[in-house]
Amino acid sequence: MKTHFQPANDHHRSDTLLIFLPGAYLKPEEFEREGFISAVRERHLAADSLLVDADVSYYYDQTLSERLHADVIEPQRAKGYTSIWLVGISIGGFGALIHELARPGSVDGIVALAPYLGRRVLGAEIKKAGGLRTWQAPTGPQPDEEPDRKLWPFFQQYLEPQPSKDLPQLYLGFGLADRFASNHKLLADALPPGRVFTTEGGHDWPEWRQLWRNVLDVLPLPSSRGRIRNQSVTRFPVATPRPSAMPSAIAA
């Protein structure tokens, strides 16, 4: 996988790394264009950024987790990063989550903005059962091995009174008019309120950009003063949306 490194400080590396995974048919440099990297710097956060060219081919041939781990995460750990976060938009958010399924505990946190969370029919089944708190994952042989069959039971771990310390911190952001919002709301119910951010609008950069800034304000990342900031639960409005940037073919 090709990557592009953006340091938090021109003079030295941080020990915290944000790895950005783009949406379908989007380019990693769009994170720069849309202000994601500048937002990190404006807040004086001691967190380096790595933009990853994880295009949809990795999802179609089901090599995303393998390549992300071997080409990106392991080499960055070897460079000395002690805290690694995955930041994914749309299918990039899905990629961050399925990587955690394949490599549990390999990252410290995940920010999923408007993530694709699998098939709507499975989400409808969970909703009909009363949500993740009451839904029971089927046991025995399954009709297929699609990742979403493992994804929803994984989310239920966040409902445990004492979630495992190995679970990465998970933050979710989405537009209330996003075409994936019905599944987003199911996941939101499993997370603490301070880790869920919503805004008006749909599935495009204006929403993602505002959601990122709102989430970034509370992420437990080190500041340039060398301490972890306190978290907050404040939520903010967003600007008017534009047409969707993700082809519907991905939304199976």
Choice between 12 and 195, residue whose per-residue pLDDT is larger: 195
Say how far residue 59 (Cα) sits from the centre of its chain: 15
Considering the chain, what percentage of its residues have pLDDT values greater than 90? Answer: 77
pTM of the predicted structure, to 2 decimals: 0.88
Bridging pattern class, strands 109-113 and 169-175? parallel
Which pLDDT value is given to residue 170?
A: 98
Measuring CA to CA, which residue among 29, 53, 49, 54 is closest to residue 39? 49
Nearest-10 crossing angle of helices 120-128, 181-188: 50
pLDDT at 228: 55
Confidence band for 86, pLDDT divided at 50, 70 and 90: very high
Whether the CB-CB separation of 92 and 33 falls below 8 Å is answered with no
Question: What is the model's pLDDT at position 238?
Answer: 33
pLDDT reading at 217 higher than 80 = yes
pLDDT band, very low/low/confident/very high, at 248 (cuts 50, 70, 90): very low
Mean pLDDT along residues 17-40? 96
Domain ranges of the chain: 3-250
Which residues does 31 contact at the CB level (< 8 Å), separation at least 6?
Answer: 20, 22, 37, 49, 51
3-class SS at 155?
A: helix
Listed residue (120, 113, 123, 150) closest to 246, CA to CA: 113
Q: Check pLDDT > 50 for residue 182.
A: yes
Q: Which of 94-103, 140-149, 157-166, 194-203 has the lowest mean pLDDT?
A: 140-149
Q: Point out the least confidently predicted range of 36-50, 89-103, 140-154.
A: 140-154
Average pLDDT over residues 221-246: 48
Contact indicator for 216, 37 with CB cutoff of 8 Å: no
Residue-wise pLDDT for 58-76, tens only, equals: 999 999 999 999 999 999 9
Q: What angle do CA 244, 238, 93 make, to 5 degrees?
A: 50
Which CATH topology does 3-250 take?
Rossmann fold (3.40.50)
- State the number of CA atoms in the 13 A half-sphere of 12 facing the CB: 5
pLDDT tens-digit map of 110-157: 999 999 999 999 999 999 999 999 999 888 777 777 888 999 999 999
Q: Does 240 score more than 90 pLDDT?
A: no
